[in-house]
Structure 1
C-alpha cells in the first residue's frame, strides 16, 4: 500500500501545521486592520507590515536550509496565505515567495545573490504568471525591481532601472507593465525551464486559492456579525432563513475551497506528478467561491454592505481581482479538462494489460 495513501485523502492539520496557522493568524490579526488595508491601497503595499512579516520568516521559510531557509513546503505557505487573505494583508507575499522558489529551482549560481536579497526581504520580487514573451501586466511589478518569469524558452529576470508606473485596478494590487524588450534581461540556465515554470504557476495557483479561501472566510465573518447585531421585527437578521441559509452555504464553500487548496499543496510537496489538475481546480473554485461569498456578505448587510466605506467592500473588490492577476481563468479550466482527459486515456490504455494480469 502507498505509505502516503491515508494522507492523500486527509488534509487535516498536524501539530506543527496547527502551530503555523495559529501563529500567523495571531500575527496578521494583531497588525492588520481595515484602516491599514485602506491606507495601503495608494501604493499597493504596507511596507511596515512587509518588514514585520519578513521578521516572521515569510520570505525565507520555504527556501532550502543551505540558502538560509527552513525548508518548509507549499503546504506551510498555503497556511500563511490563508491567514494573510483572511485580513487582506497588503503585502506581495505570494508573488515574492513563488518567484524566489523559481529562482532556486533553476540551480543557476547567477541567481544566488538575488535569492539572498529576496530571503531577507531587502529586494521584493514580482512573479509573471503569464509568459514574458511580450509586454505583460504583472501584479507586483510596481513595487518590485525584478520580475521573474518564463519567456517561452528560459527562466528570465526582467529588471527596471526606474520604478514602474502603477496601473490602477479594482483589487488594489501594485500592478505594472513589464516589457522585456525595453528592460534588462538575465537568462538563467535551467535543466527544464518549462517544467520549473509550470511548477511555479501551480504554486501561485495554490497559494492564491488559499488566500481566496481565507478572504471569503474573513468577509463572511463580517457579514455574520452584522446579522447578529441588527434586528428586524424584534429578531436578529441572522434568525431569518433567507439570511442564514446563504451565509451557511457560502461558509461551506469557503471551507471546501480551503480543503481543496491544502490538498493541492500537499500533492505539490509530496507527489507533484500526480493529480496535476488540482492547482488549477483549486484557484478556479476558490475564485468562484470568493466572488459568491463576498457578494452574500455584502447582501446580508443591506445597503450598508455596498457602500465604499463598508468593511466588506475591500473583500468584495479583491475577490474579483486576485485570481485574475494570473490571467484568464479559462486557461486553467482548459488545463483541468485536458489533465482529466489525459488521465482517463492512460487508464483506458492500461485496461487490456490489467485484464491479462487478472487471468
Structure 2
C-alpha cells in the first residue's frame, strides 16, 4: 500500500502533532483552572487568557505564511481546540481563526488579517447566510467588532465601532444579535460560486473545531465522573465497581474514542482532500455534540446530589456541552446533509 493511501486510513498523531497537543495541554492546565472559567461568566471571555494564548501563536498558526501565519494544518488546530475544550477555556479560538483564514483566502484587508493573526483584533463568522435584514445570532459577536458574512451578493466584512450587546446563553459564550445595519463599514470580498464555496468551507471548519472542543469537554467531564466513582465508597467498595456506575462510564469512553478519531479523520480530509469527504466535519460535529452531552449528563448522575449543584465543576461542562452544541444550529439539517452525501457515494 502506498504511503499516501495508508495515511487516508490511519489518523494517529505524528511526533510533531503530539508535541502541539502536549504544549497547549500544559498551557491550559496551568493558565485556565475552573476558577478562571467561572470568573469569565456570563460573557465567557477572558482577555488576559486570550492574550497569552495568542502569544503562543494560536491565533496565527493555521494562517498561510503569506498572511503572517505559520502554515499549520487543521489537524494541529483541532488538537489545540480539544485542549481548549478540556479546560472549558473562555477564549474565542474557533470563530476567530476560521474568520481570519476566510479573510486571507478571500483577499481581505491586510491590516485586519495582520491584527487578527496577532490576536489584537477579534474577528468572527456569521454561520448563516444573510436573509432579509440579515439579523442573526453570531458566535463571539459580543467581543468582536468585525463579522464576515455571506449573502447572494457575496462575501463581505462588516466592521462596527463597538461589539454587539451580549445575549445571555447557557453555554456562557460571547453570543450577540448582529445585523448589517449596525456596522459602520462594509468591505466586499469574493462573490459568486467561489465566495459561496469559501463560506461553506469556513462554516465546516468552525463545526470541525467546535467538535474538537466538545471532544475535549467530554473527556474532562468523563474524568470528573471516573475520579468521583473511584473515591466514593458504599458498603465497603468504591461505587466504580458497581455495574450501574461503571457501564455508563465505559459507554462514554467508547463513544469518546470514536468521536475523537472522527474529528481527526475529518480534519485530515478537510486539509488534504476537502472535496472527497465534505460531510465529515458535519458528522464530527453531530457526533461530538451528542457525546459531550452524554458525558456531562452521566458524570453529573454519577456524582449524585453533588453533581447537580452549581458549585460542582461538572456543572461547567454540562452547561457548555449543551450551549456550545446549540451554536451550530439545527443538528437535523446536518444529519440530512451527511445522509445525502453518503447516498451519493453509495
Contact 1:111 1:188 in 2 (8 A): no
> What's the CA shift for 1:111?
2.2
Q: State the match for 1:315 in structure 2.
A: 317
* Aligned residue number for residue 273 of structure 1: 275
Residue in structure 2 matched with residue 141 of structure 1 by the alignment: 141
Q: Which residue of 1 aligns with 2:109?
A: 111
2:107 is equivalent to residue 87 of structure 1:
no
Displacement of 1:205 in angstroms is 1.2
2: distance between equivalents of 1:46 and 1:254?
28
2:340 to 329, 338, 341: 338
- Alpha-carbon displacement from aligned partner over 1:228-267 (angstroms, at most 9, x marks no partner): 1111111111111111111111011111111000100000
What does residue range 140-179 of structure 1 map to in structure 2 within 5 Å? 140-179=140-179
Which residue is equivalent to 1:187?
188
Note the 1:6-155 alignment, pairs <5 A: 6-106=6-106, 108=107, 110-133=108-131, 134-155=134-155
> Partner of 1:230 in structure 2?
232
Q: Which residue, 292, 295, 320 being the options, matches 1:293? A: 295
TM norm structure 1: 0.93
Name the CA distance, whole Å, in 2 between partners of 1:153 and 1:2: 44
Q: TM-score, normalised by structure 2?
A: 0.96
Give the Cα separation in 2 of the matches to 1:190 and 1:59: 26
The 1-side partners of 2:169 and 2:122 are apart by 20
Number of the residue aligned with 2:257: 255
Query: For residues 3 and 341 of structure 2, what CA distance do their matches in structure 1 show?
Result: 25
Instruction: State the alpha-carbon separation in 2 of the partners of residues 131 and 185 from structure 1.
Output: 16
Please list every run of 5 or more consecutive structure 1 residues that lacks an aligned counterpart in the other structure.
345-359
Residue pairs, 1:192-207, within 5 angstroms: 192-207=194-209
Give the C-alpha shift of residue 3 in structure 1: 4.5
Corresponding residue of 1:349: none
Distance between the aligned counterparts of 2:49 and 2:316, measured in 1? 18
Aligned to 1:355: none
Structure 1, residues 188-210: CA drift from partner, whole Å, max 9, x if none? 13571011011111111111111
**Distance of 1:276 and 1:162 partners within structure 2:** 36
Whole-angstrom CA distance in 1 between matches of 2:191 and 2:114: 19
Q: 1:286 to 1:138 in 2, by over 3 A?
A: same
Q: SS at 2:327's partner residue?
A: helix
Q: Distance in 2 between matches of 1:116 and 1:293?
A: 39
1:2 positional shift: 6.0
**Any idea what SS the aligned residue of 1:148 has?**
strand
Distance 2:230 2:345 in 1: 48
Q: Distance in 2 between matches of 1:93 and 1:46?
A: 12
User: Which has the greater radius of gyration?
Assistant: 1
- Structure 1 residue 161: deviation in Å? 2.2
CA contact (8 A) 2:42 2:168 kept: no
Deviation digits for residues 92-112 of structure 1, max 9, x if unmatched? 000100000011111x2x422
Task: State whether residues 95 and 124 of structure 2, in contact with CA within 8 Å, keep that contact through their aligned partners in structure 1.
Answer: yes
**How far apart are the structure 2 equivalents of 1:199 and 1:141?**
20
Q: CA deviation at 1:46?
A: 0.8
Structure 1: distance between partners of 2:154 and 2:4: 34
Where does the alignment leave 5 or more consecutive residues of structure 2 unmatched?
none
Separation in structure 2 between the aligned mates of residue 231 and residue 23 of structure 1, nearest angstrom: 36
